[in-house]
Homo-oligomer: A and B are copies of this chain.
């Protein structure tokens, strides 16, 4: 009898694990059956593409789907959509499932009957959900009309409906949507601000501290200034703590302390948290961020594997646990889990915290990227780094100064004073800035020193770079500042 793999969750991590399990099984001549259960009706979609769908870059929801359920099934995966896993029995090796209440699917299980799925291997790929403050929800747990997070394809569909003034939930309307409020100054916040400005909405961004709190404040201030230059009102030191709502229940504003910021729609970008209730109920241990704690082979218990946004990862620099929900890690961790459960031996080698985004609207073009720990993380004794960290900001241009492609770029370098090791790089600048972070990520991955980066043979031609690439200039200046 073939061994059965059950995967819970059919997005990047789960489906990478499913396909990789089949591939590795074939390679090893092991008969592997893979069953995937997915609560929603969507699979393998790009959550990161949602702001661009809202902005108008993406034609429709189908465009954001990398592989359809039919395509997964054609590859030999028993994919069961609109199917909720309700319990895991690790001793009996059984997952209990039932049709989703709102699945709308015809079929024998439509009465909500629970059934048991036995497994030899289990992959938990239950993902993350957006952090949602209580005030964003009505008493029945649905979104306050006009308010929404940006995580699922359903969120995307709802946003297009909201912005068309068509309604939300039970509230139908045909109001004109003129003013948007974004709560949260991180990646989703910046991207939704771009989407709103590009749609012509008057936009306010509310954030507790400086925007992009995962970068050092001097870089956050550059982004802040760019947002304002694009016409975005930025309210820092404003913790959103409630809503004003009209007679019809539609949001009219966001309260932040004593202030009310008027808005016809409100996008929540407050981060995500691992969806691990099922795993916790099964007795699996969770970390400080609430995520599963897989070993480097992505195993969380014998024969039980975790992958993607429901997991905490290991920071490659420092070795501490860190929660970084991102499709790149989900894909890699899924591959690692799928390889290992079918008898292979793969390792997930950790995260640097590399991230990139942009704000391109209102006449501004700002690219934002980072890799490695922040200054605070690097200085935190708990991270295992505990180093004397030196930080240096260097201003340069993205191309030779005399070329039309030359735009300002700010490069912040973090290094360890004693070992001269590169610890992190953060970038904010014009077109051509963002992807330069991969030069640094590649160097960080290989444990390079700032001297190594200063010596590297990086590419130069006038439309692409000054003679010394900005990342290299910054590392050379850091090397000089550390003495010899």
Contacts and interface: CB of A to CB of B under 8 A. Distances in A.
A447 to B, nearest CB: 8
Interface string A327-346: 11101100000000000100
B446 A452 contact: yes
Contact of A459 (B355, B447, B462): B355
A402 B46 contact: yes
Interface string A130-159: 000000000000000000000000000000
B445 A52 contact: no
A77 interface: no
B442 A351 contact: no
Given A58-B403, A435-B435, A48 B461 contact: yes
Contact of A352 (B357, B400, B457, B461): B457
A16 to B, nearest CB: 10
A305 to B, nearest CB: 18
A458 interface: yes
A459 B443 contact: no
Contact of A443 (B355, B357, B446): B446
Nearest to A52: B462
Contact of A64 (B326, B402, B442, B452): B402
A398 B46 CA distance: 16
Nearest to A459: B356
A461 B64 contact: no
A316 interface: yes
B467 A49 contact: no
Interface in A429-450: 432, 434-443, 445-448
B403 A57 contact: yes
Contacts of A404: 57
A358 interface: yes
Given A58-B402, A403-B49, A467-B328, A458 B432 contact: no
A402 B457 contact: no
Contacts of A462: 46, 48-49, 52
A349 interface: yes
A463 interface: yes
Contacts of A187: 461
A464 interface: yes
A371 interface: yes
Nearest to A335: B476
Given A439-B439, A468-B328, A357 B458 contact: no
A331 to B, nearest CB: 6
A133 to B, nearest CB: 26
B455 A332 contact: yes
Contact of A437 (B344, B357, B358, B459): B459
A214 interface: no
Contacts of A438: 436, 438-439, 442, 458-459, 469, 471
Interface string A188-199: 000000000000
B436 A326 contact: no
Given A434-B459, A446-B452, A456-B442, A403 B327 contact: no
A465 interface: yes
Nearest to A350: B457
The 6 closest A-B pairs by CB, nearest first: A446-B446, A442-B442, A356-B459, A352-B457, A438-B439, A63-B402
20 contacts: A48-B400, A48-B460, A48-B461, A49-B403, A328-B467, A328-B468, A331-B468, A352-B457, A354-B458, A354-B459, A356-B459, A358-B461, A360-B463, A432-B435, A435-B464, A437-B459, A438-B459, A442-B453, A445-B452, A446-B446
